[in-house]
Structure 1
Amino acid sequence: MAPAIMVKDLGKQFRRYHAQRPRRFKELFVRGLRWFQPIEHFWALRHISFALEPGRALGIIGANGSGKSTLLRLIGGVGRPDEGRLETRGRIGALLDLGANFHPELTGRENVFVSGVIAGLTRQQVQERLNDIIAFAELEEFIDSPLRTYSTGMQMRLAFAVAVHTEPQILLIDEVLAVGDIAFQQKCFERIRQFKAEGCTIVFVSHETGAVADLCDEVIWLRAGQIVAHDKADSVIDQYVTAMHAETKKRTPAQHPPVQASSGVELRVNENRFGSMEMEIAAVRLLDSARRPVTELESGQPLSIEIEYIAPQPIPNPIFSLTISRDDGFICYDTSTAATGVITPTVQDRGHIMIHIERLDLNGGHYYVDIGIYERDWAYTYDYHWHVYPFTVQSGPHKHGILQLPHRWELNQNHHQLIDTPYLERGLNSEAI
């Protein structure tokens, strides 16, 4: 079977210009037109070769500036390679730039038609799919409003809905799923999995290695425009994470005096703390529903975690992570701002961020909250506190498993009787036996 995508010794070159252009005519006259000439050429991609079979999903990972988006654009037909060969077979659905084919003054409905036609559909085909596109995007109330009134998340919904209704044979995705609420992200991933099951070829660029591992069969790791590794997803991701840890270790200060954490635990570098310390975790507070400090709570109660940070210099788009683990080291929950679509701004000085857990349905036991702050593309860690913030969960007599899930039993035998758990929430689905 012929590959859906075939890349052979591909290269793409760009030009760099002077950072500061002349702003006055006199300045231009004195310095001459040399200011508009490139000062150097550089290869954004070089010696890239791979073949992707139909129905396979390829992940592309790497730091910012490694060439991920450039490669995806070339596959999508945006620009031409300067050397090598690139072949694709099948209709391409591309999510390269959020709303790249959208016009802010047109309504959502009008933009659907424009984007659909650009993607290769006829106007009649777009009309036939219009209701499904609007329903998938969940924008029925706003579809006739100008696009400039849409939030970034709403634009992402519309762009994704159009792309997946063009019936692509090759689907290209560049980070757009990091925008929007978690429920819609899950909906998008389910649709992508459906496409894959139906034989669609997928190329997925992301910094979120968990999403890449979940979706992709194989992964390419790019660095400085060249392939570092290309293999099965788990293998390449392990190499990438190992390199990230090595970079963090290299940046971790050799001498950093122990300090006391807000929990009272002493923080020691390379024991329960590591990172470059360019941005530091100043304090972590576990709070109950009344915003009071708490170290013990009942299963099913809400928990808020406040992270106070210090950034002496501007830090662009840091990623915050939270891990909850048992005292035996078993990881019960792990999340991050990146995983849930939260894009932080550039931060400086002292500030704080909070995560709210509506119900902490853990079984009774002793747990730790681990907090991390990472460089914006996960290249290395700024600061990480491991097993520093303990808390205890109280629950009923049932100690097996990890969670205390709200539930009820329903017995049907001539009559039925409901046996409720003490923490039952009415309206939850029951299970008949």
Structure 2
Amino acid sequence: MSKTIIVNQVSKEYQRYDAHRPTTLQEAILKGLRKIKPVEKFKALDNVSFVVKSGQMVGVIGANGAGKSSLLRLISGVGRPDRGKVEIHGRIGALLDLGAGFHSDLTGRENTYINGVISGLTRQEVEDRFDSIVAFAELENFIDNPLRTYSTGMRMRLAFAIAVHIDPDILLIDEVLAVGDMAFQEKCLKRIAQFKEKGCTILLVSHDIEQVRNLCDEVIWLQKGRIRAQGLSNIVVQQYTNEMSSETIQRTPVDMPVAVTTAGTELRVNENRFGSMEMEIVSVRLLDSLDRPVTQLTSGDPLRIEIVYHAPNLIEMPIFGVLISRDDGLVCYDSNTATAGLEMSSVQGQGYMTLQLERLDLNKGHYWVDVGIYEKNWSYAYDHHWHVYSLQIHSTLNEKGVVCPPSEWQIVKSIEPQDTVYLYK
């Protein structure tokens, strides 16, 4: 198997500036040019080496500031390493950030042609693929509007559509799948799977650990600009989540008093409650279609989960998550605000979040609803309630399996013996 990406002892430094530096020429003149001098240098990447073989899909994980985006930028050719070398063999399709390569005053059509040519296509090749690009992006009614009128999700759809239509040998994806609606995310994931089947080399940066585990052959874990671990996806992801759990346990205050839920369940730290408690879950309610608290539902009923929180101090971009598991530990549903594309602003004080499930098509049985609030990089939990909220699902159907969606068997028509097609003779 040939080597498509070779990163050899790569290091990259950037300047760190004062947060109060001038942002305009006028401010710089009034405050003095000395104010815009860098405060210090920091290493975004420090002696990073790895090889990605042709046809592999490799995930890159780590906290914000670990060097993930810097790495993809160097591989794509946006910038050069201070030390070391990056070798690329093949055409690159890159989704680095939503503003890269786009001009806000130009239309979607004009940006498509410019990006296509920059990516290595001829104008005629862009012309031949234009309708397919627009259809994939679902922007038929907006393609001649200026890009400044596009939402973040619309920009992402256009960027992804262009990248996958240049027939890349190497596809670089940096977190953009976290933006946009769930239906388009699924569409993107299907196209990525198709590229993988065709032998395209894919490098994926994501905070969605389960997505990385399920899609990628190998994973690189970056920590403070260095490779902390590299290998098979299951092994490295488990190492990463173990460290996250360890960090959460270390931050959990041991002297936290016992709390009691509205249902009378005791919350005890390091038993069914974990987290730093910098931001607390005040209450959780499972509600039916009439907003009544429930512990039992019929399969197919709607469920609304209400989470009341309190943050004594300012918390930057917390992530809210809900997981529903069966009594035997099987995960039946797992969702969070990050993968749903809902970016939280900084919060302080008390508020509440809701998650609406229009149909809960689980089979009959007993389930647990786990609820948590997590640090913006998934480094640890602020407050996580495990096996606290009980839910019993009833059903008159005698189906097997985890889900029990509405279904109906039908005999469409009988087949005469002479019309029977035999698969095996």
Residues 1:216 and 2:216 are matched in the alignment: yes
Q: What is the rounded CA distance, in whole Å, between the counterparts of 1:413 and 1:154 in structure 2? A: 45
Residue 150 (structure 2) pairs with residue 180 (structure 1): no
Partner Cα separation in structure 1 for residue 357 and residue 39 of structure 2: 52
CA offsets per residue over residues 225-281 of structure 1, 9 Å max, x none?
A: 000001011110000000001111111112100011233211000011000001111
Which AA in structure 2 matches 1:294?
V
1:127 and 2:127 correspond: yes
| 1:130-159 deviation per Cα after TM superposition (whole angstroms, max 9, x unaligned) | 000000001111111221111111111011
Structure 1: gaps of 5 or more residues: 416-433
2-structure distance, mates of 1:334, 1:37: 46
- Give distance in 2, aligned partners of 1:116 and 1:413: 51
Asked if the contact 1:95/1:163 (under 8 Å) is kept, the reply is yes
Separation in 2, partners of 1:175, 1:67:
13
For the 8 Å contact 2:9–2:85, the answer to whether it is kept is yes
Give the TM-score normalised by structure 1: 0.91
Q: Does the residue aligned with 2:411 lie in a helix, a strand or coil?
A: strand
Q: Deviations for 1:185-218, whole angstroms, at most 9, x for unmatched residues?
A: 0110110111111111111001111111121111
Q: How does 1:399-418 map to 2 (within 5 A)?
A: 400-411=400-411, 414=414
1:99, 1:159 within 8 Å by CA — same for their partners in 2?
Answer: no
Paired residues of 1:302 and 1:358 also in contact (CA < 8 A): yes
Distance 1:24 1:230 in 2: 45
Structure 2 residue 239 is the aligned partner of structure 1 residue 239? yes
Query: Retained in 2: the 8 A contact 1:8–1:84?
Result: yes
Separation in structure 1 between the aligned mates of residue 185 and residue 238 of structure 2, nearest angstrom: 24
Q: Name the CA shift for 1:24/1:183 in 2 (closer, same or farther; >3 Å).
A: closer
| Aligned residue number for residue 418 of structure 2 | none
Q: Deviations over 1:151-192 (max 9, x none)?
A: 111111011001100111110000000001111001101101
| Identity percentage of aligned residues | 57
1:260 match: 260
State the match for 1:65 in structure 2: 65
Aligned-pair CA distance for 1:362: 1.2
- 8 Å CA contact 1:99, 1:156 repeated in 2: no
Task: Please say if residues 28 and 36 of structure 2, whose CA atoms lie closer than 8 Å, have aligned partners that are also in contact.
Answer: no
Q: Which secondary structure does the structure 2 equivalent of 1:360 belong to?
A: coil
Closer, same or farther: CA 331–79 of 1 in aligned 2, 3 Å = same
1:250 aligns with 2:250: yes
Contact 1:304 1:355 in 2 (8 A): yes
Q: Match of 2:192, as an amino acid?
A: I
Which residue of structure 2 lines up, in the alignment, with residue 147 of structure 1?
A: 147
1:22-33 alignment to 2 at 5 Å?
23=27, 28=32
Cα deviations across residues 25-84 of structure 1 (Å, max 9, x unaligned)? Answer: 5753xxxx6544433222111110011111101110000100000000000001000001
The secondary structure found in structure 2 opposite 1:409 is coil
Q: Distance in 2 between matches of 1:54 and 1:61?
A: 20
Conserved 8 A contact 1:286-1:295: yes
Partner of 2:55: 55
Normalising by structure 2, report the TM-score: 0.93
* Residue identity matched to 1:189: L
Q: Does 1:78 align with 2:91?
A: no
Q: CA–CA distance in 2 between the matches of 1:117 and 1:83?
A: 30
Alignment partner, residue 312 of structure 2: 312
Which residue identity does 1:17 align to in structure 2? Y
Give the AA of the match of 2:138: E
Structure 2 runs not aligned, ≥5 long: 416-425
Measured in 2, the distance between the counterparts of 1:399 and 1:414 equals 26
For residue 377 of structure 2, what is the aligned residue in structure 1?
Answer: 377
CA distance in 2, matches of 1:181, 1:38: 39
Counterpart of 1:419?
A: none
Q: 1:281–1:383: 8 Å Cα contact kept in structure 2?
A: yes
Residue of structure 2 equivalent to 1:390: 390
Name 2:21's counterpart in structure 1: 21
Deviates more, 1:303-312 or 1:397-406: 397-406
Cα gap change, 1:202/1:414 in structure 2, threshold over 3 Å: closer, same or farther? closer
SS of 2:404's partner is coil
| Partner residue in 1 for 2:300 | 300
Bigger CA drift: 256-265 or 81-90? 256-265
Aligned residue type for 2:354: M
CA contact (8 A) 2:361 2:403 kept: yes
Give the whole-Å Cα distance in 2 for the aligned partners of 1:124 and 1:37. 46
In structure 2, do the counterparts of structure 1 residues 413 and 66 end up closer, same or farther at CA, with 3 Å as the change threshold? closer
Secondary structure (helix, strand or coil) at the match of 2:3 reads coil
1:53 maps to amino acid: K
Q: CA deviation at 1:123?
A: 1.2
Partner of 2:111: 111
- Does the Cα contact within 8 Å between 1:298 and 1:395 map onto a contact in 2? yes
Task: Write the letter of the residue equivalent to 1:263.
Answer: A
Q: Is the 8 A contact 1:54 1:201 kept in 2?
A: yes
Which residue identity is paired with 1:80?
Answer: R
Cα distance in 2 between the residues matched to 1:263 and 1:149: 48
Question: Are the counterparts in 1 of residues 245 and 380 from structure 2 also a CA contact under 8 Å?
Answer: yes
Give the match for residue 332 of structure 1.
332
Return the letter of the residue paired with 2:129.
R
**How far off its partner does 1:356 sit?**
0.8
Q: Secondary structure at the match of 2:148?
A: helix
Amino acid at match of 2:222: L
Whole-Å separation in 2 of the counterparts to 1:162 and 1:69: 20
